A = this chain, B = another copy of it.
Amino acid sequence: MGELPAWVDAFPELRDIEDPVWVDVANYATEAVLPPGSEVFHEGDVCRNYIFVLEGATRVYKAFESGREMVLYRVQAGETCSITTSVLLAGGLYPANAVTETECRAVLIPANDFHKVFDTCKGFRDYVCTVFGGRIRDLIMLLEAVTMRNVNVRLARWLLDNGSSAGLVEASHRELAFELGTAREVISRHLREFQKNGWVALSRKNIELLDIKALLELVGGYR
């Protein structure tokens, strides 16, 4: 009878579930396209939907009282947001913010439907729990990164992880500070240091990785 809609193909763990409740909810779900920079949720909001991201990337971050902000993680295509899951399962209000970085195509499942499927459909439940549980480990690792105060190491790692295959990073110092939970000036100084060493070339909103080997060596022990 019911067939799963095409968007579920992006989620292998959910594609083969034949539970009619799930099929029904999946078909009823609304699809949305958000332009880059849209606010997906904001601290203090109530949560109305479970969100599957089909295309694009969304940044989840916490704004601290001091005015500093820090990226907690990203939700990429084919993923779901753990904080949303947490709020749906445990109740309460959103404890962080999320903004689309690129244009995002997403599917929204109303909270009621989410709970209905979660209660009846083991496959769906397993998926949700797995994604959710994995994020606690990520947060603990983030905690480790923040308490260990080698910003230069973390910066080098970030550049290596996020540079294009050609060794290019398009990001302002402010954005990098935001990523690493530190201050813009600190990033500027470390980048200048890298530049002095001949490891990178700097221009406006642009960092070229010249000596990847040296950067890797700096990152060295820190995985």
Contact of B64 with A133 in the complex, beta carbons under 8 Å: no
Contact of B119 with A122 in the complex, beta carbons under 8 Å: yes
A186 → B minimal CB distance (Å): 13
Contact of B139 with A136 in the complex, beta carbons under 8 Å: yes
Contacts of A82 in B (CB 8 A): 136
Interface size on A, residues (CB 8 A): 43
- Of A86-94, A101-109, A209-217, the one contacting chain B is A86-94
CA distance in complex: A135, B85 (Å): 12
Contact of A148 with B89 in the complex, beta carbons under 8 Å: no
Question: How many subunits of this chain does the assembly comprise?
Answer: 2
CA distance in complex: A142, B64 (Å): 11
Contact of A147 with B144 in the complex, beta carbons under 8 Å: no
A187 → B minimal CB distance (Å): 15
* Contacts from A to B (Cβ < 8 Å): 62, 64-66, 68, 70, 72, 82-83, 85-92, 95-96, 119, 122, 125, 129-137, 139-144, 146-148, 181, 221-222
- Can you list the 10 inter-chain pairs with the closest CB atoms, starting with the nearest? A90-B133, A89-B129, A86-B133, A89-B133, A86-B136, A95-B137, A139-B139, A90-B130, A90-B134, A64-B144
Q: A62-B144, A91-B133 are in contact. List 12 more A-B contacts (CB 8 A).
A: A64-B147, A72-B143, A86-B132, A89-B132, A91-B130, A92-B134, A95-B137, A119-B125, A136-B139, A139-B140, A139-B143, A147-B181
